[in-house]
Structure 1
Amino acid sequence: MQATLTQLCFAERHERLRFRSALFLYALVIIIGDIPGARADVGQYASGVVLHSFGYGVLAMLLFSGIAGGMARRAALSVLLVAAMGALDEFIQSFLPYRRGAVSDWLVDITAASVVAAALYFVWPRMVAACLKKPVR
């Protein structure tokens, strides 16, 4: 079981799965976030900053691990994709009468993605090597 989970999280052959999982999770964020009253109900347990930071941080991690290439390419593309995703989310919210799109939420999304991508830039090769028992490149 542990070997399978390790392979899913770190093996190159599962990059596409992790990328698609990020897209699926993003679709869920959009759908669930646009249900009337859902955001207000969740807001009782976590603030908007916490929700955006956690949600878009996880998206950035999945995107980083699901993009092929070097660390700089992964980091840049994951932050850019999260920025686009966050902008689309806020744009959609601006059309809903019970929601509002906010630039501040979008900035939280980008900040969370940047922090996650920067951390993974430095630790990802070591994590992969340690978990898959491969030498660090």
Structure 2
Amino acid sequence: MTSSHARLRYWGGMAAYALILILGSIPGARADMGEVASGIVLHSCAYATLAFLLFTGGSGNPAQRALKAVLTVAVMGAFDEFVQSFFPYRHGSIQDWCVDCSAAIVCATFMWALWSHRKVAA
């Protein structure tokens, strides 16, 4: 992971989040995706990917990157659930938000461990 592409990864994460909001707002889209994977799998994969992009695109030492990624994903997940509560065919869920946060914590912790080891070995 080169720092020359860090900004691209960070803004790619923001664009991916916007797509999550947009695609999740299309009537029937979530039901169609539910045929492929459960909500837990979809939320885990999506928000772990966001955490990865934010961690690798962020700045600071590994602990700061991990904390910023987790907090950002927590806000993103909460806002996603908030937006869903306005659609009659969707509903906001605390459980989904907990899955989002858990996925971010697992991913950021893993990345923190890898990044810390890489920096020490370098």
Tell whether the structures are fold-level matches, with TM greater than 0.5. yes
> Which of 90, 98, 102 is residue 111 of structure 1 equivalent to?
102
Give the distance between the partners of 1:90 and 1:34, measured in 2 at CA: 11
Query: What are structure 2's unaligned runs of at least 5 residues?
Result: none
Query: What are structure 1's unaligned runs of at least 5 residues?
Result: 1-9, 130-134
> Which of 90, 100, 119 is residue 99 of structure 1 equivalent to?
90
Amino acid at match of 1:21: G
Give the distance between the partners of 2:67 and 2:116, measured in 1 at CA: 16
Amino acid at match of 1:136: A
Q: Normalization by structure 1: what TM-score?
A: 0.85
> Which of 25, 28, 34 is residue 25 of structure 2 equivalent to?
34
1:70 corresponds to 2:61: yes
Q: Considering only CA atoms, is the larger Rg found in Structure 1 or Structure 2?
A: 1
Other-structure match for 1:124: 115
Q: Pairwise mapping of residues 16-27 of structure 1 onto structure 2 (< 5 A)?
A: 16-27=7-18
1:136 corresponds to 2:121: yes
Give the number of aligned pairs: 122
Give the distance between the partners of 1:136 and 1:125, measured in 2 at CA: 9
Deviations 1:8-59 (CA, angstroms, capped at 9, x unpaired): xx11121111100000000000000110000000101100000000000000
Query: Which deviates more, 66-75 or 117-126?
Result: 117-126
Amino acid at match of 2:35: Q
Give the distance between the partners of 1:72 and 1:99, measured in 2 at CA: 35
Amino acid at match of 1:83: A
> Equivalent pairs: percent with the same residue?
50
Q: Normalization by structure 2: what TM-score?
A: 0.95
> Which of 84, 90, 107 is residue 81 of structure 2 equivalent to?
90
Give the distance between the partners of 1:126 and 1:79, measured in 2 at CA: 20
